[in-house]
Amino acid sequence: NAGVTQTPKFQVLKTGQSMTLQCAQDMNHEYMSWYRQDPGMGLRLIHYSVGAGITDQGEVPNGYNVSRSTTEDFPLRLLSAAPSQTSVYFCASSYSGPAKLFFGSGTQLSVL
C-alpha cells in the first residue's frame, strides 16, 4: 500500500500563479483533509471532505479551492498564489471522520 501520496514534494511559485497540489490515497478512505503548517506553528485545517462530492471549509479556507470527484483523490487548488501561502501542506485521510488520520509526507510550497 502506498498510503497517502502527495505531489509535488517541493514547489516554487511566483505571486499570482496558480497550481494544484495533488493528494491520492489507496486505502478507500471516505474522509480526506488538507492542512497547512507554518514554521513553529501547529497544523491548521484548510478544507476537508467526508466523501466523494462533499467538501467543507476548515479554519483557513480563503485562497484555496477543493473538489472531490472520486474517493481516491482530493486536490487542493491555489487560484492566485500569495506570499502568505508559503507553507508546508499536508494531506490526510481516514476511514471515517478525523480519527486515526493517515498523513502524506507533505508539499513544501514557496511563493515569491
Residues lying near another protein in the complex (CB under 8 A):
4, 31, 33, 35, 40-45, 48, 50, 56, 58-59, 90, 92, 97-106
Nearest CB to another protein, comparing residues 23 and 81: 23
Shortest distance, position 103 Cβ to another protein, whole Å? 3
**Nearest approach, Cβ of residue 14 and another protein (Å):** 25
Instruction: Go through the chain and tell me how many residues it has.
Output: 112
With b meaning 16 or more CB within 10 Å and e meaning fewer, what string describes 5-31?
Answer: ebeeeebebeeeeebebbbbbeeebbb
Q: How far is the CB of 90 from another protein (least distance, A)?
A: 5
What would the grid cell of residue 71 be? Answer: 474517493
Return the number of the residue (31 or 74) whose C-beta is nearest another protein: 31
Quickly tell me which residue has 485545517 as its cell. 45
Q: Return d(Cα 27, Cα 57) in angstroms, integer.
A: 23
When the beta carbons of 44 and 73 are compared against another protein, the nearer one is: 44
Q: To the nearest whole angstrom, how small is the minimum distance from the Cβ of residue 16 to another protein? A: 29
- Give the integer Cα–Cα distance in Å for 10 and 52: 27
